[in-house]
Structure 1
Amino acid sequence: MSRSLRARSVAVRRASAQAGRLQAGLLQAGLPEVDLR
């Protein structure tokens, strides 16, 4: 169970990092900030 929880937290962290990169790209392009939560 702890292993699946750890895998899930890693996946969430990876997804949030990806969202942050996408948000930074939109800000660089001059587009309004998008809330992906």
Structure 2
Amino acid sequence: MKQQPRFGAVGWIATRIHHLLLPVDALRLSTLRGHVFHLLG
């Protein structure tokens, strides 16, 4: 299974952060993600 290095690294980090923060404050994470996508989009 071939994987793009940059996406793999970013995806892994994002996944780790997601799993660390989700149980702590899901609402805050969702709100933050919404703001980020709004700024990028």
TM-score (norm 2): 0.47
Tell me the CA shift for residue 27 of structure 1: 1.6
Higher helix share: 2
Higher RCO (CA 8 Å, separation ≥ 6 residues): 1
Q: Using the alignment, how far apart are the partners of 1:14 and 1:31 within structure 2? A: 23
Q: Which residue of 1 aligns with 2:20?
A: 25
Aligned length: 29
4+ aligned runs moved over 4 Å, structure 1: none
Residue aligned with 1:19, SS: helix
Q: How does 1:1-37 map to 2 (within 5 A)?
A: 9-32=4-27, 34=30
Q: Point out the structure with max Rg over C-alpha.
A: 1
Identity score, percent: 14
